[in-house]
Amino acid sequence: MLFNFTKKCNLVSLKKHMLRLVEIELPVPFSPHFSNTFSVTCNCKKNAVDKTKFPELRTERLILNQPKNSDLKKITEILNSEVYSKNTVNIPSPYTDKSAEFWLRLSEEGFINENQYVFAIRLKNSEEIIGGIDLGIDKRFNKAELGYWIDQRFWNIGYATESVKAVIDFGFKTLNLKRIFATHFDFNTSSGKVMQNAGMKKEGVLLCHTCKNGEYQNHVIYGIINE
What's the pLDDT band for 72 if we cut at 50, 70, 90?
very high
State residue 48's pLDDT score: 67
197's enclosing H/E stretch is: helix 189-197
The rounded distance, in Å, linking the Cα atoms of 27 and 50 is 24
What's the pLDDT band for 50 if we cut at 50, 70, 90?
confident
End-to-end CA distance of the chain: 27
Going through the chain in order, the beta strands assigned E by DSSP cover: 57-58, 62-65, 116-123, 129-138, 143-150, 179-185, 201-212, 215-225
Q: How many CA atoms lie within 13 A of 161 on its CB side?
A: 14
Contacts of 40 (CB under 8 A, 6+ apart): 140
Domains defined along the chain, listed by start: 11-26+55-177 (3.40.630.30)
The rounded distance, in Å, linking the Cα atoms of 112 and 193 is 33
Using an 8 Å Cβ cutoff, are 206 and 219 in contact?
A: yes
State residue 58's pLDDT score: 98
Give pLDDT tens digits for 163-215: 999 999 999 999 999 999 999 999 999 999 999 999 999 999 999 999 988 89
What's the pLDDT band for 37 if we cut at 50, 70, 90?
very low
**DSSP category for residue 128:** -
What's the pLDDT band for 15 if we cut at 50, 70, 90?
very low
Using an 8 Å Cβ cutoff, are 3 and 20 in contact?
A: yes
Using an 8 Å Cβ cutoff, are 35 and 16 in contact?
A: no
Using an 8 Å Cβ cutoff, are 134 and 117 in contact?
A: yes
What's the pLDDT band for 22 if we cut at 50, 70, 90?
very low
